[in-house]
Every structure is written in C-alpha cells, then in structure tokens.
Amino acid sequence: MSSLERNEPAEAELISVRKALRRTQEQLQGARDREAVLRNELQHRVRNMLAIIRSIFSRSMTSGGSIDDIADHFHGRLDTIARYQSFHSIDPMRSVDVEQIVRDELHSFQFGDDPVITIEGHEAHINQDVAQLTALAVHELVTNSLKFGALSGGDARVRLLIRWTVAGNALTLEWLESGVAIIGAAPLRRGFGREFIEQALPYQIGATTSFDLRPGGLTCIITIPLDVVAAPVI
C-alpha cells in the first residue's frame, strides 16, 4: 500500500472535521444573530413601554382631581399594561381574544355578569400590541362610565351594550350607552381617555374613532385594521 493510499482515510476524516467545524460556526453565528434580534426587540419594547408609562403618568397628573383619584387612575392604567406585558412574556406570538379584552377590563372594576351590561360579538383575535392599546381604550371607557354613565349606578333603566363585528379586514368595536340622565352634562370630558382614543389609537394602530354624545347616551366606535402593526410611541 502506497503512502498516498494510507493518507486517504486521514484526509477524509480531516475534511469531515472541517465541515463539522464550519457547521458549528454557522450555528453559533445564527444563535448570535437571533440573540441580537431578540435583544433589540426587548430594548424596543422596554423603551416603548416606558414611553407609554411616562405619557400615562403625565396625563394622569394633569387630569385634575385628588391625589387618591390620580393614583387610582394611574394604577388602573398601569395594571392594564402589565397584563398584556405578561401575555407577551409567556407567548410573544399569541393573539388575544376581543371578548377577553372587554371582560378583563370590566372584571378589573369588579363587574361580572351585570343585567345593565350586554356583550356581543363573534370570536375575533388581535395581536398583543394592538390588544394592549385596545384594552387601554376600553379601560378609559369603563372609567368614564363609572363616573358619568351607565355604570355609575342608581338607575335600572340604563343599559351598556358592548359589541364587535369583523367585516373585511377590520374589527369594529362599539360602546353604546343609553338611558343615562347625567351623561348630557358631563360626557367623557377631554382628558387622557378621550385624547388617547381620538389621537393615540389612529396614530399607533391606524384606527378610526368616533364619538356621538347626546342626552341620555354615549356611542364610541373604534375600527381597527386587523393586519396592523402598532407604531412605536417614541
């Protein structure tokens, strides 16, 4: 056997080792690239969340009222944000059911099954970033209704209908209050809640919103594109 023939197995083994080394290097580089993407995404989400919190805190402070009222409003809004950040940490790709959004916000104010409230809509899901902003909008509507509207209590004639429909590539969420005597005098004054719905939602998720204020009733309609990606706050 020639020396060339004797070296062939060793050379073949060396080639195999080099190929395995290249594959390992490629896998390590892929892991580094994924880590960089995840790190950048985390930094973006943290900056975005902090910007939302700063905005909520600033608007809560300038909305007036006692320190206790301001603290309650801020804590409620912060709890809503925290709920959807928890969802993201468990499963970043999980979508959120619209009915769950509505019921979670009502439950956060101790509303369960209430004859005043009717909830209607077929199953519909939205991504977590859009769900967080939608939940904040519902939170503000509940807060206003507790002060001035159908959830303020004391009148068996009042009704709140919350319903949603999907048509084409858009979700329409309707908040309909009726039979409310006081609402004509103090309807969803221009504070954080209304500014958030009328200004932040169109900017961040391309929503179209409308309010119809009338004696005895409030109608808020929010239409959201289902393929939207939430715009950054900063």
Q: What CATH number should be reported for the domain holding residue 194?
A: 3.30.565.10
Distance CA 53, CA 192 (A): 12
pLDDT band at 139 (very low <50, low <70, confident <90, very high): very high
Mean pLDDT, rounded, for 10-26: 80
Bridge-based pairing of strands 170-178 and 117-121 is unpaired
**Is 8 among the domain residues?**
no
Mean pLDDT, rounded, for 203-220: 87
* pLDDT cut 90: percent of the chain above it: 29
**Is 3 among the domain residues?**
no
Question: What pLDDT, on a 0 to 100 scale, did the predictor assign at position 184?
Answer: 47
Question: What pLDDT, on a 0 to 100 scale, did the predictor assign at position 141?
Answer: 94
**Is 15 among the domain residues?**
no
If you average pLDDT over every residue of the chain, what do you get? 81
Q: Which of 37-46, 131-140, 174-183 has the lowest mean pLDDT?
A: 37-46
Assess contact for 119 and 102: CB atoms under 8 A.
yes
**Is 234 among the domain residues?**
no
Residue 216 domain boundaries? 56-225
Total tally of structural domains belonging to the chain: 1
Helices 67-90, 98-108: crossing angle, 10 deg rounding = 150
Mean pLDDT, rounded, for 103-126: 90
Distance CA 95, CA 85 (A): 13
User: pLDDT per residue over 51-70, tens digit each?
Assistant: 777 777 776 666 666 777 77
Question: What pLDDT, on a 0 to 100 scale, did the predictor assign at position 234?
Answer: 40
Question: What pLDDT, on a 0 to 100 scale, did the predictor assign at position 213?
Answer: 79
Question: Which tops the pLDDT comparison, 102 or 23?
Answer: 102
Is the pLDDT assigned to residue 187 strictly greater than 50? no
**Is 36 among the domain residues?**
no
In Å, what is the CA distance from 126 to each residue of 48, 197, 223? Answer: 19, 17, 12
Question: Which tops the pLDDT comparison, 30 or 151?
Answer: 151
Distance CA 212, CA 218 (A): 6
pLDDT band at 185 (very low <50, low <70, confident <90, very high): very low
In Å, what is the CA distance from 208 to each residue of 95, 113, 172, 200? Answer: 21, 30, 9, 11
Q: How many CB atoms lie within 10 A of CB 213?
A: 12
